[in-house]
């Protein structure tokens, strides 16, 4: 191992406590899409303290950032942190099911966890920065803060606004979330495309639905029939879409369509129709042309629902992300470094945590409670073979993540490092809280972070110091795109919309009662009525 590579591993080992603390901090913030204010602030402050120049609010997104560190001419290497959690997953970092202190279970929390994703990537780039300084490696590091990944939010916007221009290679990391993608890199089958949009229904003139009685002193008397309104339009679209799912795409390819209601109207108990209601749809498909087809159907449903409910409708894009693009040269380089580092090691402290979770669930604690795949490596080609077993031959991509945007601007690798996953008795399924808790307990999640940081840092150093490796990756990029950026097979950014930051996204709020989730915590004396 070269002296610069040694510097990477030494730095990670020396700063494992700092990385653990940072990971725990972001995990406990538990902020969700487009509202990650504390999390973004933490990263911006840390990067500035490390000598990076940081643009806050990059791309017009308040919780995004673009950080740069340079030692002179040389390759430009890109990486990123994500830090958004998921509403309704407020699990404490404990071995039993409970919400974080002072919050309801409806509050946000980390599931994947993006807290480990961001800290592993940050650790790798900070370690590479030190190696650059100590050993005279010239080049530039670009490290992005990417909010709202759960709705595929920021990367299409960064891409369309030029933030990825001029970068020579990207490193994308994610903790394992689907087997066999644990301690490996993607080979041919990358993540697919994703579109999301919010449909807004407005009932602007309910008084014109039916005329009030001639002798009525007001335009819309309580005795008159009222317009269906925006809530009815939303419910109608919801039901139409459920009915027409089978007519959106063929029954193959594992595509999905999910919805989330953002507002439920503004009516009180009075005889007034709701003036506004909003519903978000997000589809995950293999290629972006399929997403275009899905949203043609959704547009028709919105039109029909609005007409039936005496409303007008609008569609506001949340994301349009492209499918992924493989790069074997980047994959081979990164996997060699993973082989050198080895998988995460879940030691005695992690095993004790896992056994306690099992006991609290009424299971007999196991001597070896973690799945072997948490720590062992799998060759990229073998992982590819297993993944393809359940996919149609015609399907090029599977699952969804918006790192795919970076693939069309520079050679990109997708790295997966094992996260703690529990064994169980035959047929047993662990509750979601157990997996979430393991992502927040330092003894169980730190090995993932430290392994990722070393692999990423080593890969950055290799790309900066070995011109042949980077040249091979770029030759492959040009071949796959038919000439590089702008080539005949290249897909340009699809984003043609403003950052969707002004909707009623779930968030933490400050009230007279203090800081809480936007769905208030029930008072301790509030008793549910038995059904």
Q: What is the pLDDT of residue 491?
A: 96
Q: What is the pLDDT of residue 219?
A: 56
CA proximity to 19, closest of 505, 354, 330, 457: 457
Contacts of 369 (CB under 8 A, 6+ apart): 351, 354, 355, 358, 422, 423
How many other β-carbons are positioned within 10 Å of the β-carbon of residue 104? 15
CA proximity to 177, closest of 124, 110, 119, 88: 110
Convert the pLDDT of each residue in 420-450 to its tens digit: 999 999 999 999 999 999 999 999 999 999 9
Is the pLDDT at 525 greater than 50? The verdict is no
Radius of gyration, CA atoms only, the chain: 25
Query: Considering the domain 194-321 in this protein, what is its CATH number?
Result: 3.30.70.360
Topology (CATH) of 3-192+323-481? Aminopeptidase (3.40.630)
- Identical fold for domains 3-192+323-481 and 194-321, yes or no, is no
Convert the pLDDT of each residue in 367-413 to its tens digit: 999 999 999 999 999 999 999 998 888 899 998 899 999 999 999 99
Place of tokens 């394992």: 176
- Residue 530: pLDDT band (50, 70, 90) is low
For 312-335, b/e burial (b = at least 16 CB within 10 A) is: bbeebbbbbbbbbbbbbbbbbbbb
Q: Give, in degrees to the nearest 5, the angle at Cα 254 between 251 and 258.
A: 100
442-465 and 348-360 helices cross at what angle (nearest 10)?
140
| Distance in angstroms (rounded) separating the CA atoms of residues 323 and 317 | 17
Q: What is the pLDDT of residue 215?
A: 60
| Distance in angstroms (rounded) separating the CA atoms of residues 295 and 285 | 12
Instruction: Kindly report which listed range (281-290, 309-318, 337-346, 505-514) carries the lowest average pLDDT score.
Output: 505-514
With 0-12 / 13-18 / 19 or more C-beta atoms within 10 angstroms meaning exposed / middle / buried, residue 10 is middle
Please answer whether residues 418 and 373 qualify as being in contact, where contact means their C-beta atoms are separated by less than 8 angstroms: yes
- Written as six digits, the tokens of 478 are 């040009």
Convert the pLDDT of each residue in 189-207 to its tens digit: 999 999 999 999 999 888 7
With 0-12 / 13-18 / 19 or more C-beta atoms within 10 angstroms meaning exposed / middle / buried, residue 405 is buried
Is the pLDDT at 31 greater than 80? The verdict is yes
Distance of CA 130 to the CA centre of its chain: 28
3-14 and 114-135 helices cross at what angle (nearest 10)?
140
What is the mean pLDDT of the segment spanning 331-350? 98
- Written as six digits, the tokens of 389 are 């077993």
Contacts of 335 (CB under 8 A, 6+ apart): 184, 185, 379, 380
3 state DSSP class of 164: coil
Q: What is the pLDDT of residue 291?
A: 93
| Distance in angstroms (rounded) separating the CA atoms of residues 342 and 340 | 6
For 265-293, b/e burial (b = at least 16 CB within 10 A) is: bebeeeebbbbbbbbbbbbbbbbbebbee
Q: What are the structural domain ranges in the chain?
A: 3-192+323-481, 194-321
Q: What is the pTM of this model?
A: 0.93
Please answer whether residues 457 and 124 qualify as being in contact, where contact means their C-beta atoms are separated by less than 8 angstroms: yes
CA proximity to 159, closest of 38, 64, 86, 54: 64
| Distance in angstroms (rounded) separating the CA atoms of residues 105 and 520 | 10
- Written as six digits, the tokens of 79 are 């990486």
Q: What is the pLDDT of residue 524?
A: 56
Query: Residue 134 belongs to what H/E stretch?
Result: helix 114-135
Q: What is the pLDDT of residue 526?
A: 47
Please answer whether residues 12 and 457 qualify as being in contact, where contact means their C-beta atoms are separated by less than 8 angstroms: yes
Sheet holding 276-285, edge to edge: 256-263, 276-285, 193-202, 312-321
């Amino acid at each position: 191992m070269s002296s610069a590579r040694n510097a990477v591993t030494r730095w990670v080992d020396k700063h494992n406590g700092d990385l653990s603390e940072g990971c725990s901090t972001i995990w406990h913030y538990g902020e969700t899409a487009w509202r990650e204010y504390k999390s973004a602030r933490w990263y911006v402050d840390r990067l500035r303290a490390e000598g990076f120049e940081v643009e806050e609010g990059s791309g017009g997104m308040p919780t995004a950032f673009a950080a740069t560190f340079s030692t002179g001419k040389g390759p430009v290497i890109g990486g990123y942190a994500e830090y958004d959690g998921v509403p309704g997953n407020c699990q404490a970092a404990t071995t039993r099911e409970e919400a974080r202190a002072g919050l309801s279970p409806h509050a946000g929390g980390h599931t994947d966890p993006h807290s480990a994703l961001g800290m592993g990537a940050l650790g790798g780039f900070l370690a590479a920065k030190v190696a650059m300084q100590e050993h005279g490696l010239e080049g530039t590091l670009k490290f992005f803060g990417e909010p709202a990944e759960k709705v595929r939010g920021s990367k299409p916007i960064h891409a369309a606004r030029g933030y990825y221009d001029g970068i020579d290679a990207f490193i994308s990391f994610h903790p394992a979330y689907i087997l066999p993608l644990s301690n490996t890199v993607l080979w041919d089958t990358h993540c697919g495309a994703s579109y999301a949009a919010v449909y807004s229904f407005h009932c602007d003139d309910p008084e014109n639905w039916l005329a009030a009685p001639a002798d009525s002193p007001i335009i819309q008397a309580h005795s008159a029939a009222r317009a269906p309104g925006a809530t009815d339009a939303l419910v109608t679209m919801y039901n139409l879409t459920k009915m027409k799912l089978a007519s959106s795409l063929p029954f193959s390819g594992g595509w999905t369509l999910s919805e989330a209601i953002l507002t439920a109207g503004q009516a009180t108990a009075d005889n007034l129709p709701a003036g506004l209601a909003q519903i978000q749809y997000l589809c995950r498909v293999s290629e972006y042309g399929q997403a275009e087809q899905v949203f043609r159907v959704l547009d028709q449903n919105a039109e029909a629902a609005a007409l039936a409910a005496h409303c007008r409708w609008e569609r506001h894009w949340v994301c349009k992300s492209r499918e992924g693009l493989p790069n074997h040269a980047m994959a081979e380089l990164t996997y060699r470094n993973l082989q050198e580092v080895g998988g995460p090691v879940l030691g005695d402290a992690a095993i004790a945590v896992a056994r306690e979770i099992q006991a609290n669930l009424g299971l007999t604690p196991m001597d070896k409670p973690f799945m072997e795949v948490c720590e062992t490596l799998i060759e990229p080609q073998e992982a590819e073979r297993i993944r393809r077993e359940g996919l149609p031959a015609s399907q090029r991509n599977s699952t969804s993540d918006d790192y795919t945007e970076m693939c069309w601007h520079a050679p990109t690798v997708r790295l997966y490092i094992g996260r703690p996953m529990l064994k169980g008795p035959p047929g047993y399924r662990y509750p979601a809280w157990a997996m979430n808790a393991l992502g927040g307990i330092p003894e169980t999640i730190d090995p993932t972070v430290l392994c990722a940081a070393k692999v990423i840092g080593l890969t950055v150093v290799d790309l900066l110091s070995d011109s042949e490796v980077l040249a091979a990756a770029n030759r492959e990029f040009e071949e796959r795109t038919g000439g590089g950026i702008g080539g005949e097979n290249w897909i340009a950014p699809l984003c043609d919309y403003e950052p969707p930051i002004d909707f009623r996204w779930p968030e933490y709020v400050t009230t007279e009662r203090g800081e809480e989730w936007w769905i208030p915590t029930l008072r301790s004396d509030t008793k549910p009525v038995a059904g």
